[in-house]
Amino acid sequence: MRRFRNVKIVATLGPASNDYAMIRALHEAGADVFRLNMSHGDHDEIRARHAIIRQIERDLDSPIAILADLQGPKLRVGTFARGEEDLAEGAAFRLDLDEAEGDASRVCLPHPEIFAALEEGASLLVNDGKIRLRVTACGTDFADCVVVNGGTISNRKGVNVPDVELPLAALSEKDRRDLEFVCQLGVDWLALSFVQRPEDVHEARTLADGRAAILSKIEKPSAVAKFDDILAVSDGIMVARGDLGVELPVQNVPPIQKRLIRKCRIAAKPVIVATQMLESMIESPMPTRAEVSDVATAIYEGADAIMLSAESAAGNYPIEAVTTMDNVAIEVEGDPTYREVIEASRSANRKSVAGGIVAAAREIAETTDIKAICCFTQSGTTALLTARERPRVPIIALTSQRGTARRLVLSWGTHCVMTGELERFKQAVVNAARAARTGGYATEADQIVVVAGVPFNMPGTTNILRVAPCAEHLIFASDPE
């Protein structure tokens, strides 16, 4: 299914998008990747949604990526005798390990690992940052605090600890069970929550054992501080702005978003911008102007994908939300300023033969009348390097590996086509020309650039670039072998 934009759209599935008709309609409206949120729904529900997506993929003969988003550790206060209490600014409040129900002076925080990491002066944020506490004294089983920002605190509200790196693994026992379950199902990407350090990614990669690519969610200040190391061991990144905006001053988030996107592009790894992109469309068929500008900004910055959460999972207008994103993307990418911004941010840091070849392919495509860059890839690396160049023409990624095709769906501008295993370069040129014609990217009168590696079917061998005609009789005439 051809898209007339390069940025990809990730849509979260949930109660509002739970059957074949709706999920297919979302895909046809523009959703390229479907997110299964492991924080909601049991394994039977997840299995059913996965099966529907794969059925739609077969029916439309179009690769679809599935992203399973692991919940991560959840830090929450205990319960209150009256259900909730009002905390006034300047009041004293204690968090401790006592399981007794809380009151206006204290509540249980059943996470000894938090107390082990706290220091005097550290901040604790409750209920998405609506309540801010500052630690005045602490020990192994308590934290005495002063209320900096007051409000209503109630049962089992979430707690964020922005100032310290917690001695917690990114994977809880639930996450480990969920990871094994979705890997057996056959998802393409695993989104890892609560990443604080590269070691968190190593654990998930070991458990996944090659069955899914690892996407690290950047939602904590410690992850921002160690981003280069986390990026190096990740296959992709999600800029999870909701939690970042809780744990960091909100004005810090836009420059962080821009910086992380730029680094991901240099590394040739896909990056998703997520959280509250079209929040008002949960209840309204029209977005706010500010939301449209937010989506546009992520596209101008060169993000590979933009994501819908509750808008498509639980909102009243899931199809309208996807359509809005699609329309904004097409309009932005048609703006001459978009090309200026994208090309001005292109890095010349190419350190491999493959990187040099795809850069040359982009140069040729943009200085002559080339209709598409067709790259053959086994692992996906050649297509990712081509996407890093952000060419002006479509990228057609041809692969014999269905898993590779599905994972590449997340990557900017990449149109994935399944092909058989090849033995000769002429076969590659013929298959590329057919894919370009069949997909409507070129006619028999046009030319394409073909990038491949010989010997075939071996990752990491990209070493050939050829300008080829799309007409098969011209291919054979120019190369009788």
Residues with a known catalytic role: 35, 76, 217, 275
Tokens of 323: 């359509």
Q: Name the residue among 12, 2, 7, 77 with its Cα closest to residue 328.
A: 7
Cα–Cα distances in Å, from 15 out to 10, 182, 388?
16, 19, 36
Tokens of 175: 């996450």
| Rounded Cα–Cα distance for residues 408 and 390 (Å) | 15
| Rounded Cα–Cα distance for residues 28 and 2 (Å) | 10
| Rounded Cα–Cα distance for residues 481 and 478 (Å) | 9
- Give the count of alpha carbons within 13 A of 297, CB side only: 15
Q: Taking each helix axis from N to C terminus, what angle separates 20-29 and 43-60, rounded to the nearest 10 degrees?
A: 50
SS (H, E, C) the chain: CCCCCCCEEEEEECCCCCCHHHHHHHHHHCCCEEEEECCCCCHHHHHHHHHHHHHHHHHHCCCCEEEEECCCCCCECCCECCCEEEECCCCEEEEECCCCCECCCEEECCCHHHHHHCCCCCEEEECCCCEEEEEEEECCCEEEEEEEECEEEECCCEEECCCCCCCCCCCCHHHHHHHHHHHHHCCCEEEECCCCCHHHHHHHHHHHCCCCEEEEEECCHHHHHCHHHHHHHCCEEEEEHHHHHHHCCHHHHHHHHHHHHHHHHHCCCCEEEECCCCHHHHCCCCCCHHHHHHHHHHHHCCCCEEEECHHHHCCCCHHHHHHHHHHHHHHHHCCHHHHHHHHHCCCCCCCCHHHHHHHHHHHHHHHCCEEEEEEECCCCHHHHHHHHCCCCCCEEEEECCHHHHHHHCCCCCEEEEECCCCCCHHHHHHHHHHHHHHCCCCCCCCEEEEEEECCCCCCCCEEEEEEEECCHHHHHHHCCC
Cα 284 to the chain's mean position, in Å?
25
| Rounded Cα–Cα distance for residues 293 and 303 (Å) | 14
